[in-house]
Structure 1
Amino acid sequence: MGIANGGLSMQLPYPPLKWALLVLRFTTALLFMAHATARIAYGTIPQFAKFMASQGFPYPEYWVWAITLAELVAGTAMIIGWRVRFAAVPLLAIAIGGIVLIHWRFGWFVGEHGTGGSEYSVALIVMLLVVAASDTNDAALPTNEE
């Protein structure tokens, strides 16, 4: 059986779709939570607030804390499988806002062929859309039968 007939794909150890979507949900949540955690741990809230002020945001430190808390709370909700579609909304807003405020002007690539571009944020948006679209309101872990 050749590759064209699905032979290769049948031999690779792909996880069941439900498990793959669970890994995607966890990974997406953890990526947002990592940014929030780093912002707190490294003490970069003031620098981010200064940037937000330069973009014309009133009360920039409140905005930064709102973004940081949204990443932590929505990320946690996604990990535990609670209101995943609802949790994706603020994270989508954060990713889109990041493109508009920061990444768009740097082009597409994040590394190798550019610096600070939009590709990572676009990947996060696609990940969030897939996670939200696949949410079944079932926080239970997949069983071996699935």
Structure 2
Amino acid sequence: MLRISTALIFIAHAVVRVYGGTIQRFGDYLNNKGFVFGVPMVWGITAYEVIGGLLLAAGYFCKWLSAGFILMLAIGIAIIHAENGWFVGEHGSGGSEYSAILIICLIVIAAADQKKKRQEN
């Protein structure tokens, strides 16, 4: 349940970005932060969230996909969320708490995948 719901969060995040038309805005934001090729980077992030999310939901490559998602979230904390504080909701605006809990979920998912592989051997 944790694996599937976490995967669906990433998929939904990507789908809203595409249908909400915010890829260009996010790409411009990354360019303003000093990154090059912001829009292609955002498309890469979006593709990873959709494809990786589908694979994660299906139970494939959980450890490796979790590592990629954790890296993506950690970078997001460093370049976007940390400057907005800790809280996301009523006590703040765009902070790190949401990303931090997703990282914890992904660590649990990766650990469960590793335990499952040990039991199979």
TM-score by length of structure 1 reads 0.76
How many residues of Structure 1 are paired with residues of Structure 2 in the alignment?
Answer: 115
Match in the other structure for 1:58: 36
Spell out structure 1 runs of 4+ moving beyond 4 A: none
Q: Quote the sequence identity (%).
A: 42
More helix by share: 2
**Whole-angstrom CA distance in 1 between matches of 2:105 and 2:74:** 13
Indicate whether 1:31 and 2:9 are aligned. yes
**1:55-110 Cα shifts (integer Å, max 9, x gaps):** 11111111001100111111111111111111112211111111001110111111
**1:95-134 Cα shifts (integer Å, max 9, x gaps):** 1111001110111111121111110000000000001111
**1:35-66 Cα shifts (integer Å, max 9, x gaps):** 11111111111001100101111111110011
The amino acid across from 2:25 in the alignment is Q
Quote the RMSD (CA, aligned, Å).
Answer: 0.9
Q: Secondary structure at the match of 1:72?
A: helix
The amino acid across from 2:40 in the alignment is Y
TM-score by length of structure 2 reads 0.91
Indicate whether 1:74 and 2:52 are aligned. yes
Greater Rg over alpha carbons, structure: 1
| 1:37-56 matched pairs, under 5 angstroms | 37-56=15-34
